[in-house]
Amino acid sequence: MKSSTCSQCGKPISQEDKFCQHCGAPQKTAATAPKPVKTAEPRGISTASLVKWLLIAGVTGLVFGWIRYWIGYYVLIQGVIAGLLIPWMVKKAAPNQLEAISDIRFKMALLLFFSFMVAQAIGFGVAQPVFDPFNWVARVWNGDTTESVFGIFSTGGVVHQTFSEGLSGGFWAFLWFFDISFMFFLMLVSLPLTTNKKRS
């Protein structure tokens, strides 16, 4: 306990004393400053933030769709880049809402994935002379045209020749499904993990 002196008689008293124990004179006590209240990180996700994140995934999908139509498809490479790039940009766009994202990580990954896929289809349409997002996909599926595929299958020989001529139909759809499944997995694990901190 800190000590002080009486302002009236000069005898020693405690700083907490409102009156002198010796002469009874009232003492001036220093006002205690209120302790700062820690503000918890906002747990709710604002509509503006959600729209911003979906736009990030959408613009990325639009660019990837345009590249796929004109250049070709890089199996797994697209999935890796999109699956890591989109969550990274989302975290950069909202560093103060990482805990809120972690609470709905699976739903957020689904929303980002869906936004990317819709935008990629639009990218297919934008790249064509006449805008028709699903026309090109349908033609590749039906075998009316092919999509150039690169990446892990460019190994030379018969395999290289087969894939350099492009793919269509079921095998093409399988590779696409394999790629987007890998992309979704990377999105999910790259978003913020749920913390063990108790809510304040």
| pLDDT tens-digit readout, 115-173 | 999 999 899 888 888 888 778 788 888 888 777 776 554 455 444 555 556 677 888 88
The gap between the terminal CA atoms of the chain, to the nearest Å, is 33
Domain parsing of the chain, residue ranges: 47-190
Strands 12-14 and 3-5, bridge-based pairing: antiparallel
Q: What is the mean pLDDT of residues 181-185?
A: 94
CA-closest candidate to residue 56, choices 96, 95, 76, 85 = 85
Tell which wins on pLDDT, 114 or 70. 114
Output the six-digit token pair for 179. Answer: 């790629």
Are 74 and 150 in contact, with CB atoms under 8 Å apart? yes
Q: What is the mean pLDDT of residues 188-198?
A: 73
The per-residue pLDDT for 162 is 52
